[in-house]
Amino acid sequence: MNAYTVAVVGGIGLVGRAFLRLLQERRFPMGEVRLLGSERTAGRKVHFRGEELEVQQLTAQSFHHVHLAFFAVNPEISSHYAPVAAKSGAVVVDNSPAFRMEPWVPLVVPEVNGADLARHRGIVANPNALTTLLALPLGALHRISPVERVIVDTYQSVSGAGQVAVEELSQQMRLVLEGKNAVSHVFPHQLAFNVLPQIDPFYDNGYSREEWRLIQETRKVLHSPELAISATCVRVPVLQGDSAAVHAELTRPITPEDAQTILGDAAGVKVLDEPDVGLYPHPWMITGQEDVLVGRIRRDFSNPRGLAFWLVGDNILRGHALNAVLITETMAREGWL
């Protein structure tokens, strides 16, 4: 078995660290590991496999002999350096939105459309966290009875906006509980004891970038470019774990009982659905969960072929890091690294 040389661009962020930890836990055969970062982070040290890894400054020469380069940085850096890494012979798994909608770039949730990896041309895109969390149960239903229409309203945690957002929410909560005014830098308004129907800026069509990404990426992952889909993405005062209320219209109706079986058998999905005894997913229970949890499975009474459910997933782990690791493992297994 080969030992792969792995580069992580942005290895000290929430997602980059989780990616490395998972690769190690799952015994991915890693040789050299290079942490790459900006001038600002270069020189910082990270404890990994019993040694201190020092962040090196990212340059065009950074990817020499690298088999896999995971990018967990902003789309500007990915746009510039992912093609450089691919040209050096590395396979790039890009966590940013930079390449997700490029027709030649596979956008992959391995359990749903892992076969798309076969047509990679050096760059593979990791979807938006919520796309992955939605695609896992929706993809499982779609295989049995194609989804014709879906409406998704989300309840998204602050960790998706980074560590600084996590700290801002806690600080705001403290201030409000002391009767003081909360200060907002990361969020457009106070988020403590509040919810905000805005994640990222808005387009002219009235949708936020987050909503539009969820719509477009879901269509691409499901191979359903005309899928009728709408979404409202809402930030809630939760630290980790994204939730969504999903209303799907299927080609042929699926009963809630059958949906429980289909989703219970689906890879990456776990059903937790005994509301009578208080058993349903909620974000406080989600940190560290590798599966998307699904509950509240019931008929959607707005349509004879409607099915409604509720999902919660660890946006950092399952939404980003684990999905990238599963892509990496598939690529290694198929001999593409």
**Residues near a second copy, by CB under 8 A:** 149-151, 153, 155, 170, 173-174, 177, 188-190, 193-198, 201-202, 205-208, 215, 228-230, 232, 234, 236-239, 243, 245, 247, 256, 275-276, 278, 280-284, 295-303, 306, 308, 310
User: Nearest CA to 187 among 217, 166, 204, 210?
Assistant: 166
CB of 140 to a second copy, least distance (A): 19
Judged by CB, which is closer to a second copy: 89, or 188?
A: 188
Judged by CB, which is closer to a second copy: 116, or 242?
A: 242
CB of 131 to a second copy, least distance (A): 16
User: Nearest CA to 187 among 167, 215, 209, 213?
Assistant: 167
Give the sign of the dihedral formed by CA 212, CA 217, CA 219, CA 222.
negative
CB of 119 to a second copy, least distance (A): 28
CB of 270 to a second copy, least distance (A): 16
Chain centre to alpha carbon of residue 329: 17
CB of 48 to a second copy, least distance (A): 27
C-alpha distances (whole Å) from 237 to each of 13, 190, 261, 320 are 21, 10, 33, 20
CB of 61 to a second copy, least distance (A): 42
Numbers of helices and strands, H then E, in the chain: 8, 14
Judged by CB, which is closer to a second copy: 104, or 202?
A: 202
Residues 6+ apart with CB under 8 A from 288: 314, 317
Judged by CB, which is closer to a second copy: 43, or 275?
A: 275
Determine the Cα–Cα distance for residues 27 and 303; give it in Å rounded to an integer.
46
Judged by CB, which is closer to a second copy: 84, or 245?
A: 245
Query: Do 324 and 9 form a contact (C-beta atoms < 8 A)?
Result: no
Judged by CB, which is closer to a second copy: 82, or 234?
A: 234
Query: Do 99 and 93 form a contact (C-beta atoms < 8 A)?
Result: no
